[in-house]
Chain A
Amino acid sequence: MRQYLLKSILQIVPVLFLISIIVFVLVYVTGDPVSLMLSDTATDEDREILIAALGLDQPMHIQYFRFLGNMLQGDFGTSFRYDMPALPIVLERLPATFELAIAAMIVATVISIPLGILSATKRNSFLDIFVSGASVLGKAMPHFWLGIMLILLFAVEWKTLPVSGRGSWDHLILPAFTLGTGIAAEMTRLIRSSMLEILGQDYIRTARSKGLIETIVVYKHALRNSLIPVVTIMALQTSTLIGGTLITETIFSWPGMGQLIIQAVNTRDMAIVQAAVFVVAFLVIVSNILADILYRVLDPRIKYN
Chain B
Amino acid sequence: MEANLLEVKHLRTHFKTEDGVVPSVNGVSFSVAKGETLAIVGESGCGKSVTSLSIMGLVAPPGEVVGGEIWLEGQNLLALSKKELRKLRGNKLSMIFQEPMTSLNPVFTIGNQLGEVFRQHRQMDKKEARAHSIEMLDHVGIPNAEKIVDSFPHQLSGGMRQRVMIAMALACNPALLIADEPTTALDVTIQAQILELLKKLNKEFQTGVILITHDLGVVAEMADRVVVMYAGEVVEQADVFSLFAEPKHPYTKGLLGSLPKLDENREELDSIPGSVPNPLDMPDGCAFHPRCPAATEECKQNKPQLQEVALNHLARCFYA
Binding site for B on A (CB under 8 A): 201-203, 205-213, 216, 220-221, 224-225, 228, 298-301, 304
Contact = CB atoms under 8 A, between A and B. Distances in A.
Given A211-B91, A299-B106, 14 more contacts: A202-B99, A203-B104, A205-B58, A206-B97, A206-B103, A208-B89, A209-B89, A212-B86, A212-B90, A212-B116, A221-B108, A225-B105, A300-B152, A304-B155
Contact of B117 (A210, A225, A299, A304): A210
- 10 nearest interchain CB pairs? A211-B90, A211-B89, A210-B90, A202-B102, A203-B105, A300-B152, A202-B103, A301-B154, A209-B95, A206-B103
Nearest to B168: A210
Contact of B103 (A203, A212, A300, A304): A203
A216 B108 CA distance: 13
Interface in B41-63: 56, 58
B200 interface: no
Nearest to A227: B107
Given A205-B97, A206-B97, A300-B154, A211 B102 contact: no
B90 A201 contact: no
B5 to A, nearest CB: 18
Interface string B150-175: 00101100000000010010000000
A301 B87 CA distance: 31
B205 to A, nearest CB: 18
A125 to B, nearest CB: 12
Grouping DSSP codes into helix (H, G, I), strand (E, B) and loop, the A interface class, with mixed when no group exceeds half, is helix
5 contacts: A202-B97, A206-B105, A206-B168, A209-B94, A211-B120
Contacts of A205: 58, 97, 103
A298 B107 contact: yes
B90 A221 contact: no
A207 B113 CA distance: 8
A211 B105 contact: no
B121 interface: yes
A45 to B, nearest CB: 71
B147 to A, nearest CB: 15
B106 A210 contact: no
B107 A300 contact: yes
Contacts of A228: 107
Given A206-B97, A206-B165, A301-B152, A211 B88 contact: yes
Contact of B89 (A210, A224, A299): A210
Report the contact-size class of chain B (Cβ under 8 Å from the partner).
20 to 34
Nearest to A123: B61
Nearest to A124: B61
B106 A225 contact: yes
A228 B105 CA distance: 13
A201 B117 contact: no
Interface in B106-128: 106-108, 116-117, 120-121
Contacts of A208: 58, 89
Nearest to A221: B105
Contacts of B91: 211
B63 to A, nearest CB: 12
Contacts of B152: 300-301
Contacts of A300: 106-107, 152, 154
Contacts of B108: 220-221, 224
B106 A211 contact: no
A211 B107 contact: no
A83 B91 CA distance: 76
Which of B102, B105, B116 has its CB near the most chain A CB atoms (within 10 A)? B105
B120 A212 contact: yes
A208 B165 CA distance: 13
A213 B120 contact: yes
Contacts of B107: 224-225, 228, 298-300
A207 B58 contact: no
Contacts of A210: 89-90, 94, 116-117, 120, 168
B86 to A, nearest CB: 5
Contacts of A211: 86-91, 117, 120-121
Nearest to B154: A301
Nearest to A299: B107
- Most chain B Cβ neighbours within 10 Å, of A210, A221, A301: A210
Contacts of B89: 208-211
Nearest to A210: B90
Contacts of A301: 106, 152, 154
B120 A201 contact: no
